[in-house]
Amino acid sequence: MAFVATASGHIFGILALILLLAWLIHFRGGIDLNSSDAAHIFNVHPFLMYFGFVFFAGEAIMAYKTVRVDWKAQKFVHMSLHVIAIVLGIVGIYAAFKYHKQQGIANMYSLHSWLGLGTFIIYGLQWIFGFFYFWVQGADASARRSYAIWHIFFGRVLLYMAICTAESGLMQSSTLLGLGAGTESRIVNFAGLAILLFGISADLAIAPIPDAF
């Protein structure tokens, strides 16, 4: 079951990336953080917040099923993928603020922005606590076992928070751009569906299997 879920996660994750790139490049003109066109700057935001943040966060979760090495190496890959997600997420958030500044748009006015920044801050705290508990080995084995339950719980919660943020962002963009019922709108909708299925697959890949009863 875990293999099927992990394979599905990779497929849906890549499919979502392809659909997003098709939307942002073909319909929205391209992705360029240093462009003179504000729309191209904004396009960096959805691209990096999915590929740079959601995708790598999901891959970090599935690393325990994908990377067949010892626990220490798995933990290093898991931690490193989260670092990539954080770094690229920072650039993605910066792109949104840069776009708002150029366009004279207020920051942090929407539910999408509240969810996004809240998710990102908690995500960073989750990484810091995980680093000190599991990598630095500052806590004893009993404390690590106790924290592991909460670490896994918040990791799964944060994945769905990131998915909700991505979905609300796509919906907000569709509304502001006035997308109708054409091809562009369908590509955005299918991208949102693929992102959701990616998140579900990543979560299912690590979900504990209960004993038969």
Report pLDDT for 180.
81
Torsion over CA: 91, 92, 95, 97 (sign): negative
Q: 127-136, 139-148, 149-158: which range is least confident on average?
A: 139-148
Please state which CATH class domain 30-183 belongs to: mainly alpha
Distance CA(173)–CA(23), nearest Å, equals 12
Output the CA–CA distances (angstroms, integers) from residue 123 to 75, 113, 157, in the order listed. 17, 15, 10
> pLDDT tens digits for 13-56?
999 999 999 999 999 999 999 999 999 999 999 999 999 999 99
Report pLDDT for 133.
85
> pLDDT tens digits for 165-195?
999 999 999 999 888 889 999 999 999 999 9
pLDDT band at 103 (very low <50, low <70, confident <90, very high): very high
Distance CA(62)–CA(176), nearest Å, equals 34
Report pLDDT for 211.
47
Q: Which residue has the higher pLDDT, 212 or 207?
A: 207
pTM of structure: 0.92
3-state secondary structure 98-123: HHHHHHCCCCCCCHHHHHHHHHHHHH
Report pLDDT for 212.
44
Q: What is the mean pLDDT of the chain?
A: 91
Q: Give 48's DSSP letter.
A: I
